[in-house]
Structures are given as C-alpha cells and as structure tokens.
C-alpha cells in the first residue's frame, strides 16, 4: 500500500508526474490513497480517480485545520501504508510532526518521504524544497528531481546522505515523433509543412516567465518568420496576450 499526499490535482508538470507515478504503482499492484489539500476545483481529479478510487479532497468536507489534520491521522492509522509521500503541500509538511508520531505507533513501519521538483526562491524562501529541508528530521529520505535542487537543499542545511535524486524522464512509449500526427496537426491549424513552429507548453504564471518568452520570441520573429503555439492558462494570460499584441 502507498499513501501519496498531493496538494491539488491540477494541470501541470508536478501533478502529471504524480499521475504517472500512481499509474506505475497501481500497475504493479500498489494501492494508493490521495489526499488533496488545496482548493475545490481539480481539473485532473477524474484522471486520478481512474487509477485509484481512494481520493480525498480535504476542503470539500472538512473546514478546520484541526479536523483535516485529525482526518489525515485517521487515514494513516487505518491504511497503515508502507510509504507516506508528501508532494507540493505546505499543509502536508505542517502535519508531519503529528503523522510521524502516529506512524511510530503503528505495528508496521511506514517510510516517510517527500518529492520536490524545483526551488522557488521568491516564495517562502524556497517554497516546498525549503519545507523539505526544515522537515528532513521527520522523514526517511528527501527525493528530488535534479542534482541542482539537491545541492540547493544541501546549501540550506539538508543532510546529503538522506537525499536521493530521481529523474522524471519521458515515457517514450507515449511520447515520440509521429509524422502522421505532425501533418494532421499542421493541416488542422493551417500551418505549412516546412514553417517553423515554436511551442510554449506551460502555465501562464510568474514561475514560467511568460512575459520573458513573449519578449524573446518577438526578437526572434523579427528575423525568422514562425508560428508560435501556447498551450496553457493562468493569471498572466491577459498580460501575455497584451505583450504579444504589442509586438511590432
């Protein structure tokens, strides 16, 4: 069994990783429990529920922090998993002292881990990896997506002997060049076969720097005609569209 803690089931790289991980685990006969700790709108909830029916969105039925923390304790005690994993959840880190205490009293050992993708120095001194550093004493191991992030966490005080780098990679059985699909997509979008196409697949948020992309692509487009495709949405959409429209 595995209990996996996820902040919000939204479209994005972190949750795509979570979804792929859960698919692999369930295919290998793991049971996965998901605790979503933020918001009520989860665009990818159906995809997660296709691989596990054990999905709990805490704000949907519990209002207070205490009730949510107690419910997590109940799930941990009732499921008695092999692994408890925190992924992109400030709430998850905040209840780790309680959950580690509950885990210590269970008849079977529970490995407590987290997984982090990148530091965000402009948010809470580093974001979730900063929480991972501060909570390392409560976990068996910190798992990170890159050696760069590992070194950043070590510089902030993490013990490197209790850290592992696990690259995400790409599933080449699902993602590979396909000339047929390429021609179909270009025909649908009325893009000539030999025209240059640039794709920006990202949430339109500060972290992804969409305005920097708009400025860069404007400079390149002055020398090389191209079609730019943007696959994403977010709070920067209006500013991004304005930046594109103002491009000479």
Q: What is the pLDDT of residues 101-129, one digit of tens each?
A: 999 999 999 999 999 999 988 888 999 99
DSSP H or E run through 57: strand 55-57
Contact criterion met (CB below 8 Å) for 45 and 57: yes
| Mean of the per-residue pLDDT values of the chain | 88
The model's pTM: 0.78
CA distances from 73 to 38, 67, 96 (A): 18, 10, 10
Helices (H), the chain: 13-27, 45-49, 65-79, 90-94, 96-104, 128-134, 147-155, 179-189, 210-221, 237-245
pLDDT (average), residues 73-77? 96
Q: What's residue 75's pLDDT?
A: 95
Both tokens assigned to 5: 């803690």
Both tokens assigned to 246: 């103002």
Cα distance between residue 91 and residue 78, in whole Å: 20
99: pLDDT strictly greater than 50: yes
pLDDT band at 247 (very low <50, low <70, confident <90, very high): low
For 227, residues 6+ apart whose C-beta sits below 8 A from its C-beta are: 189, 191, 195, 196, 197, 198
pLDDT band at 201 (very low <50, low <70, confident <90, very high): confident
What are the backbone dihedrals phi and psi of residue 186, each rounded to the nearest 5 degrees, phi first? Answer: -65, -40
Contact criterion met (CB below 8 Å) for 52 and 30: no
135: pLDDT strictly greater than 70: yes
pLDDT (average), residues 17-27? 91
pLDDT band at 248 (very low <50, low <70, confident <90, very high): low
Structure-token match 């002997």, residue found? 161
Both tokens assigned to 192: 């000539």
């Amino acid at each position: 069994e595995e209990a996996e803690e996820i902040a919000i089931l939204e479209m994005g790289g972190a949750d795509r990783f979570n979804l792929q991980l859960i698919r692999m685990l369930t295919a290998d006969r793991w049971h996965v429990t998901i605790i979503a700790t933020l918001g009520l709108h989860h665009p990818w909830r159906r995809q997660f529920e296709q691989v596990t029916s054990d999905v709990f969105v805490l704000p949907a039925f519990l209002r207070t922090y205490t009730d949510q923390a107690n419910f997590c304790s109940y799930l941990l005690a009732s499921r008695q998993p092999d692994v408890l994993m925190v992924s992109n959840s400030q709430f998850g880190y905040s209840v780790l002292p309680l959950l580690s205490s509950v885990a210590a009293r269970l008849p079977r050992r529970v490995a407590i881990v987290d997984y982090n993708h990148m530091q965000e120095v402009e948010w809470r001194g580093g974001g979730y990896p900063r929480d991972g550093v501060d909570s390392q004493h409560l976990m068996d191991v910190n798992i990170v997506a890159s050696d760069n992030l590992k070194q950043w966490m070590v510089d902030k005080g993490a013990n490197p002997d209790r850290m592992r780098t696990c690259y995400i990679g790409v599933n080449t059985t699902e993602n590979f060049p396909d000339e047929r699909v390429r021609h179909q997509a270009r025909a649908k979008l009325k893009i000539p076969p030999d025209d240059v196409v640039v794709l920006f697949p990202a949430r339109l948020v500060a972290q992804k720097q969409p305005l920097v992309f708009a400025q860069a692509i404007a400079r390149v487009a002055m020398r090389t005609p191209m079609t730019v495709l943007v696959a994403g949405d977010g709070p920067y959409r209006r500013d991004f569209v304005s930046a594109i429209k103002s491009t000479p």
